[in-house]
Structure 1
Amino acid sequence: MDTLLTMPSDKNGIYFLHTSLMETSDKRHLRIVSKVQKHNYKKGTLIFLQGMEDSCERYGELFYELSARGFSYASFDWYGQGESVPETGNKKISRLTFDINQHIGDLDEFLQKIVYPDCPPPYYFLAYDMGCLIAISALDIINNQCQRFIGLSPLFTPLGYTTGSFQSKLTSLMTDFGLGRLKLPRAKSLFSNISGPTKGTNSEIDRLKNSQNIPLPDRRWLARVLETVNFAKARLNKNDLRFPTIFVLGHNDKLINTQKLLRFSNNVRLADIMTLFGAGHDILNGADNSKKQFWALFDTFIPGTKAYDINY
């Protein structure tokens, strides 16, 4: 029997999230949130994979919308992000790290321990930012279960960096020479989406107030991410994708190179790309117009969703 440690419920506006902790095989604990719609059991489950330094509380509105549409859902905080941040004594980690093998392993355990035993099929994946990069890197794990996939603001060009560019080669060289801890220009912009005013629980507000204490990505982090981008793109170029996919980009996204992604996605089998006019990087928590565009796309792409039957 897998160990789930009960935690107090959190509140984000009018949305209540009942969270638990999943114990991994190496005794770490990842916070999860899940809900099974027993009256709409056949509709299936939406698996949401979060982005950079996210936590479950930020997506109360997303989970509410999924419930309104009759979907079960499940999500978790990546280790080292959100409320699953490792601590040494009373000190949090001083440097943001990225370990794709660990992230893929955590995703596999989450699916095997939480999603597949308890949440009903069919399974749809919604992945944002870094979560999209990890999911595409883990195609061997999700290919046989995923029915459809939506990738929001995929971090295939982090901060505009592209694989094979002079900047990426310089970053790799600096890392090899032990200069990987040098800070990245515009690194703070990765967290700008979560550092502004918000309504929610005291714990979420406190986390946002302390956002300036969050370790920022450095050259070593970027080098590892770009290596993962190369791997993920290779999987897509080899036509390893087995499910219909839409990559959704914000027209005003300042963190990724949308033109590069548009050109790349044109050559990927089973994948299309949509650009939301006026949207930035954080589509799910952006302006109302951006969210309306996203949900219209969602209701069109995910089977069994009838937008006109939804009562808000």
Structure 2
Amino acid sequence: MSIPTNPVPEGARVGYFTTSDKVRLRYALWPKTEGPQRGTVCLVQGRTEYIEKYFETIADFRKRGFAVATFDWRGQGGSDRLIGNPHVGYVDRFEDYWTDLRCFHAEILLPDCPPPFYLVGHSMGGLASLIATTRDRMMFDRVFLSAPMVGLHGLDHSLHRWAAVAETISFMGLGHLPLKRKGDRRPDESMYPDNPLTSDMLRYKRMVETIRADDGLYVGSPSFRWLGAAIRAMLETRQDRFPGEIRIPLLILAAARERIVSTPAIEQLGLRLRTGRHMVIASSRHEMFMEADPVRGQVLAAFDAFITEQSR
């Protein structure tokens, strides 16, 4: 999807691949545009997101000498939707996202992209990335996460209770039902003043215009099945053993003005890491790559220090 305010970066190769459990996922690849060849950034998105949302960030990575590879998770973007209502976020198990990433690495990254590989994950994609680092430490050389979903804002002390509720509803055969929340309605310009995503009006408007141009990209409320699966994955990161299972250099950024995931939970995990560290980005809301230029500049500077300057 290309619109005047969000054109497709030149040089895109777009296609589909099929996971080992027969789910069809949309992907896109771009070569670098400037500088020495530094490898490939594998960019994985948050819940409800899609490839088009990251066109500006993809261009930033390419200018630094990186090829970029990205895909839409199952159940969102241009990939297969998994239940009858395509606008409800759903996954059977959070482990299924590991299947998506592992198959993308094997089917697309390894044969078609220049190494080394660097994993960049946001929000839900950040949680999936954390779990991936404990499954296979050889897939990526470094991992850079923005606002990973290791907790939910305001719910740090009730995650077990919410998991039990979601799992009970799913056990009753109602896991596909949406957990309806006001903030999950289709975005429009009227929602900007109190939005939790970005303080940048033009970038927020660009998100609105992209969804308006292709409603098929829209995902709203999460299902109860998704919620139960996601919370269990969040709780896994709080196990005593978890930080020691991460053996890849890792940098986590948290947002100081966060209202979606839990910044305290990110900080607690960051303090327990053995091969990584964390930073809190002042003035940032949840979507750091979509933030105003002063905030976004801090994020890209952190990326440069941790990945660009360390790449070959």
Q: Same-fold call, TM > 0.5?
A: yes
Question: Aligned with 2:247: secondary structure?
Answer: coil
Higher relative contact order (CA 8 A, sep 6+): 2
Query: What TM-score, normalized by structure 2, do the two folds share?
Result: 0.80
Find the partner of 1:52 among 40, 47, 53. 47
In the TM superposition, 1:121-140 aligns within 5 A as: 121-140=115-134
Within the alignment, does 1:97 sit opposite 2:90 as a pair? Answer: yes
2:184 to 185, 188, 205: 188
Identify the match of residue 176 of structure 1 among 157, 163, 168.
168
Which structure is higher in strand share?
1
3-state SS of paired residue (1:290): helix
Structure 2 CA distance, aligned partners of 1:81 and 1:218?
A: 13
Q: What residue number does 2:150 align with?
A: 156
Report the alpha carbon displacement of residue 251 of structure 1 after superposing the two structures with TM. Answer: 1.0
Contact 1:45 1:120 (C-alpha < 8 Å) held by counterparts = yes
- Give the alignment of 1:1-312 within 5 angstroms: 10=2, 12-13=6-7, 15-16=9-10, 17-37=12-32, 42-86=37-81, 92-93=85-86, 95-98=88-91, 99-162=93-156, 165-166=157-158, 168-173=160-165, 175-176=167-168, 178=172, 181=177, 183=179, 185=181, 188=184, 193=197, 196-198=204-206, 204-207=211-214, 211=218, 214-234=219-239, 237-304=242-309
Render the CA deviation track for 1:188-234: whole Å, top value 9, x for unaligned: 2897649952179x8653236984xx341244432211111122443
CA RMSD of aligned residues (A): 3.3
Residues 303 and 18 from structure 1, CA distance in 2 versus in 1: closer, same or farther, beyond 3 angstroms?
Answer: closer
Kindly provide the amino acid, as one letter, of the partner of residue 143 in structure 1. Answer: R
Q: CA deviation at 1:283?
A: 0.6
TM-score normalised to structure 1 length? 0.80
Structure 1 position 255, deviation (Å): 0.8
1:187 is displaced (CA, Å) by: 5.5
Q: 1:40 to 1:143 in 2, by over 3 A?
A: farther
Q: Distance in 1 between matches of 2:102 and 2:33?
A: 24
Contact 1:168–1:223 (Cα < 8 Å) also in 2: no
Name structure 1 gaps, 5 residues minimum.
Answer: 1-8, 307-312
Contact 1:122/1:145 (8 A) holds in 2: no
Native 8 Å contact 1:53 1:82 kept in 2: yes
Identity across matched positions, percent: 22
Moved more, 227-236 or 115-124: 227-236
Distance 2:18 2:97 in 1: 14
Q: Are the aligned partners of 1:46 and 1:126 in contact in 2 as well (CA < 8 Å)?
A: yes
Cα pair distance change 1:189/1:275, threshold 3 Å: farther
Q: Structure 2 unaligned runs (5+)?
A: 188-194
Alpha-carbon displacement from aligned partner over 1:143-201 (angstroms, at most 9, x marks no partner): 11321111111011134333xx345325414632647647255652897649952179x
Counterpart contact for 1:249–1:258, Cα < 8 Å: yes
- State the number of aligned residues: 291
Deviation at 1:73, TM superposition (A): 1.3
State the Cα distance separating 1:44 from its structure 2 match.
Answer: 1.1
Aligned counterpart, 1:4? none
SS across alignment from 2:79: coil
SS at match of 1:248: strand
CA distance, structure 2, for counterparts of residue 108 and residue 210 of structure 1: 23
